[in-house]
Amino acid sequence: DADVTQTPRNRITKTGKRIMLECSQTKGHDRMYWYRQDPGLGLRLIYYSFDVKDINKGEISDGYSVSRQAQAKFSLSLESAIPNQTALYFCATSDPADNEKLFFGSGTQLSVL
């Protein structure tokens, strides 16, 4: 079983629609992250959460929101999707006791038409 699970794996949506990407983990890590990956740009941090009551913006948070429903669950929402949000999205977790090594989910490929 995957330690970090993302749903859905693929999503096609239309401009203006609200969508949610979900992430759950069984690693017991407090810290969770959302990254997006675009060709040639590497991974960029959208939001991160160090515990249930701690939410922080990353370098590209505009147009996104997040919810940390529990230690194991961290969801990403696009309130009104636009085409330039088409990307591969990754959820990740880390443990500060393990030098913050990131463990990634399988990713969600999102296409906004």
Partner 1 sequence: QKEVEQNSGPLSVPEGAIASLNCTYSDRVSQSFFWYRQYSGKSPELIMSIYSNGDKEDGRFTAQLNKASQYVSLLIRDSQPSDSATYLCAVNTRDSSYKLIFGSGTRLLVRP
In the complex, the residues that contact partner 1 under the rule CB under 8 A are 35, 40-45, 48, 50, 56, 58, 90, 94, 96, 99-107
Q: CB-wise, 19 or 89, nearer to partner 1?
A: 89
Name which of 50 and 63 has its Cβ closer to partner 1: 50
| C-alpha distance from residue 75 to each of 31, 39, 96, 99 (Å) | 13, 23, 21, 24
Residue number with CB closer to partner 1 (7 or 17): 7
CB 87 within 8 A of CB 11: no
Tokens representing 8 are: 């859905």
